[in-house]
Amino acid sequence: MPGHVTHTLIYPPSARHNEAGHLEIGGCDVVALAAEHGTPLFIYDEAALRSQCRAYLEAFAAHAERFVVVYASKAFACRAMCELVHEEGLSLDVASGGELAAARAAGFPPADIYFHGNNKSVEEIEAAFDYGIGHFVVDSFDEIPRLEAAAAARGRRQPVLLRVTPGVRPTTHSFVQTGQVDSKFGFGLAEGQATEAVRRLQASDRLELVGVHAHIGSQIFELDSYESEIATLFTAVAGWRHTLGFECRLFNIGGGLGIRYTLDDQPSSIAEFAAVAVGAVRSQAERHGLEMPTVLVEPGRSIAGKAAVTAYTVGTVKVIPGVRTYVAVDGGMSDNLRPMLYDSRYEAMLANKAETPATDLVTVAGKHCESGDILVRDVRIAPPQPGDILVTPGTGAYGYVLANNYNGQPRPAVVMAAGGRSRVVIARETWGDVLRLQRSLAD
Ligand code: PLP
């Protein structure tokens, strides 16, 4: 039935079945997009990206007088995405010189950029200073003199936030927990390192400490983890106010809101997240007799994740009678590492058989030389054949940005689809691109 899509909760909002019985996204037939741009192909629903940005702005505006939504570009960083989030009125978090370069190429206003990272190189710090970015998020003692030197060389006083590890452990995969005491990120509260860092920054004539930041992890469903984070941070901030005279103007709660990859996932909504987070900041500020700070939030996955699907071409179908059917596609761990890194679960469907009942239990395998190169285990799809276009939804965050050239595989193209039109925002690599930086022993 045209217009109907099996999993509306998982596919981008514009996903529908068209008259040809194909999956359509952003008004574009996915089978036609695969033919035009080749596969694997990341297809973003541009309107979905924009509506997630707006949902964040509306949700935080409903609860906070002063707030900033900072898109965490690590989730999906490229020039077009930086342009899009700026058009939608968001600020930007970059965590490397490469992400900064994309922001620069997009003409992103430097004042709205926050620079993260537990090991920012001097080169990256210099590049960020030269672009005039608004804030650094200080992550280590070793970083402080590097920032001071760059600020002094330019006769500048640079606003910074302090990244604190609050000792909160949300329920999510341990590889994406970041706020616990034993973490490579930030300054611990329990051991007094954060207090020492505040003292050090307060004494700096080149750096101006204007706020705190914490990020407790990613793909978080339970909002009470944020309440614990905010309460812990506020106790620290109140202590620093009394003992060191520190005024916390910017209070950055980090990102981490989870999304639905499968029908079993039950994430909280952006509206619920904003209500809980801002409510916790307000009640903690009142409890400690502090002024309400500007609330900053740093979403990545919940903006980009659900907006994209990856389209692959099925190459082989291997039936092992009584055991399993492997459907091998023309990508795999080179374009989606999450199943291998985090045991992440995805759904799948055949875009060219959108109307055919999903009767066959299969395992979707990549083309790489690893048995662990499995994209989706045990999923029901329409009867598969070589040449079918298989789609995995929910690949918009931490998908393309983790893509790699394993087995010499060129990285896929990325298109944004809207109103029946698709635009290439990252071109497909060729074998020539993969070879471009290689040199012969004879050179
Ligand atoms: N902020 C920081 C400092 C992060 O490290 C991350 C992700 O790792 C994010 C924000 C974005 O998290 P998410 O994509 O889960 O919203």
How far is the centre of ligand 1, averaged over its atoms, from the C-alpha of 300 (Å)? 6
Q: Tokens 């290439």, residue?
A: 424
Q: Is it the case that residue 5 has pLDDT exceeding 80? A: no
Mean pLDDT for the chain? 95
Q: What is the Cα–Cα distance from 211 to 193, expressed in whole angstroms?
A: 16
Q: Which atom of ligand 1 is nearest to the CA of 304?
A: 14
How far is the centre of ligand 1, averaged over its atoms, from the C-alpha of 214 (Å)? 10
Q: What is the mean pLDDT of residues 230-256?
A: 97
How far is the centre of ligand 1, averaged over its atoms, from the C-alpha of 50 (Å)? 19
Q: Is it the case that residue 3 has pLDDT exceeding 90? A: no
Closest to 91 (Cα-Cα) out of 294, 394, 248: 294
For 351-362, the pLDDT digits (tens) are 999 999 999 999
pLDDT at 20: 97
pLDDT at 180: 64
pLDDT at 191: 86
Residues contacting 244, CB < 8 A, separation 6+? 195, 198, 199, 202
pLDDT at 419: 98
Closest CA to ligand 1's atom 10: 255
Q: What is the Cα–Cα distance from 142 to 148, expressed in whole angstroms?
A: 11
How far is the centre of ligand 1, averaged over its atoms, from the C-alpha of 169 (Å)? 15
Q: What is the mean pLDDT of residues 230-235?
A: 97
Q: What is the mean pLDDT of residues 304-324?
A: 98
pLDDT at 116: 98
pLDDT at 227: 96
335 Cβ inside 6 Å of ligand 1: no
For 103-115, the pLDDT digits (tens) are 999 999 999 999 9
298 Cβ inside 6 Å of ligand 1: yes
Q: What is the mean pLDDT of residues 47-59?
A: 98
pLDDT at 175: 57
Catalytic pick among 28, 78, 248, 369: 369
How far is the centre of ligand 1, averaged over its atoms, from the C-alpha of 9 (Å)? 23
* % of the chain beyond a pLDDT of 90: 92
Residue 78 designated active-site: no
pLDDT at 182: 78
Rounded alpha-carbon distances, angstroms, from residue 38 to 106, 313, 331, 347, 412: 26, 9, 12, 21, 8
Closest to 38 (Cα-Cα) out of 299, 413, 430: 413
Q: Is it the case that residue 4 has pLDDT exceeding 60? A: no
pLDDT at 176: 59
For 177-202, the pLDDT digits (tens) are 665 677 888 999 988 999 999 999 99
pLDDT at 187: 95
Q: What is the mean pLDDT of residues 169-181?
A: 63
pLDDT at 37: 98
72 Cβ inside 6 Å of ligand 1: yes
Q: What is the mean pLDDT of residues 369-392?
A: 97
Q: Which atom of ligand 1 is nearest to the CA of 220?
A: 15
Q: What is the mean pLDDT of residues 66-91?
A: 98
pLDDT at 169: 74
Q: Is it the case that residue 167 has pLDDT exceeding 90? A: no
Q: What is the Cα–Cα distance from 343 to 375, expressed in whole angstroms?
A: 10
Confidence of residue 263 (pLDDT cuts 50, 70, 90): confident
Q: What is the mean pLDDT of residues 134-161?
A: 98
Closest CA to ligand 1's atom 6: 255
Q: What is the Cα–Cα distance from 194 to 198, expressed in whole angstroms?
A: 6
338 Cβ inside 6 Å of ligand 1: no
Closest to 427 (Cα-Cα) out of 47, 86, 25, 42: 42
Burial class (CB in 10 A: 0-12, 13-18, 19+), 408: exposed
For 383-407, the pLDDT digits (tens) are 999 999 999 999 999 999 999 999 9
